């Protein structure tokens, strides 16, 4: 199933982009409310990719990155994940904590907890926005944080998703903080095809085959 991909028409891709914009817009607002800092999020690219291509999206697969993943349950099942290259993760820690670990070995409880909270806020807010849009019940579950090679983290998400008929929606994000700080990463939403079609149906759009 790793090589399976799906073709979406213009209306379906427009709906996916709209869900991404609204969902991540709510997520950014929630992050600002919790941290007391101003954030803006730009979404320069949204694409659907074959599951086996996900591990290669982060550039050099040997680069270290920070991943926050979260299974989703309810009417729509699957996974969400934020993947940040190490430098971007450091920039995000700098926004949140005022400092950042110099190396992966320096990540202790506080930076790890901060990143877990970021993942929880962003993913849960994204799911809540989709629920509000569609009337479907979509539940976030406790997030998990990993600091490892980009390929290893992405491959573990794919391995879980391959157990079902899943679709990978890759959303490039740019998160802007105060003083022109910014960090770039990827938000992955990996719903089952059945779940994605439920979202389409709730929006009055024909599902994907």
Give the residue ranges of the chain where pLDDT is below 50: 1-3
Instruction: Tell me how crowded residue 134 is: count the other CB atoms within 10 A of its CB.
Output: 18
29 membership: H or E segment, kind and range: helix 10-35
Amino acid 91: pLDDT:
80
Amino acid 2: pLDDT:
43
On whether the CB atoms of residues 92 and 192 are closer than 8 A, the answer is: no
Amino acid 135: pLDDT:
93
Looking at residue 30, what DSSP letter applies? Answer: H
Amino acid 183: pLDDT:
67
On whether the CB atoms of residues 174 and 183 are closer than 8 A, the answer is: yes
Position of tokens 């990719």?
Answer: 49
Where are the domains positioned within the chain? 10-202
Amino acid 176: pLDDT:
67
Cα distance between residue 59 and residue 150, in whole Å: 8
**Three-state secondary-structure class, residue 204:** coil
Buried b (16+ CB within 10 A) or exposed e, 161-176: beebebbbbbbebebb
10-202 architecture in CATH?
A: 3-Layer(aba) Sandwich (3.40)
């Amino acid at each position: 199933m790793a090589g399976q991909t799906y073709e979406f028409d213009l209306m379906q891709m427009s709906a996916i982009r709209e869900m991404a914009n609204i969902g991540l817009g709510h997520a950014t607002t929630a992050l600002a409310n919790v941290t007391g800092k101003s954030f803006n999020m730009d979404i320069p690219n949204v694409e659907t990719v074959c599951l086996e291509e996900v591990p290669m999206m982060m550039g050099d697969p040997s680069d270290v990155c920070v991943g926050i993943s979260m299974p989703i349950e309810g009417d729509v099942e699957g996974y969400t994940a934020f993947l940040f290259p190490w430098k971007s993760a450091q920039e995000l820690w700098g926004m949140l904590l005022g400092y950042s670990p110099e190396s992966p070995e320096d990540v202790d409880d506080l930076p790890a907890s901060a990143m877990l909270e970021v993942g929880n806020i962003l993913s849960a807010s994204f799911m809540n926005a989709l629920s509000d849009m569609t009337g479907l019940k979509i539940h976030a579950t406790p997030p998990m944080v990993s600091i490892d090679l980009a390929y290893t983290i992405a491959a573990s998400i794919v391995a879980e998703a391959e157990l079902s008929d899943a679709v990978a929606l890759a959303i490039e994000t740019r998160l802007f903080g105060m003083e022109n700080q910014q960090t770039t990463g990827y938000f992955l939403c990996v719903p089952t095809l059945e779940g994605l079609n439920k979202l389409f149906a709730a929006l009055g759009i024909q599902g994907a085959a």
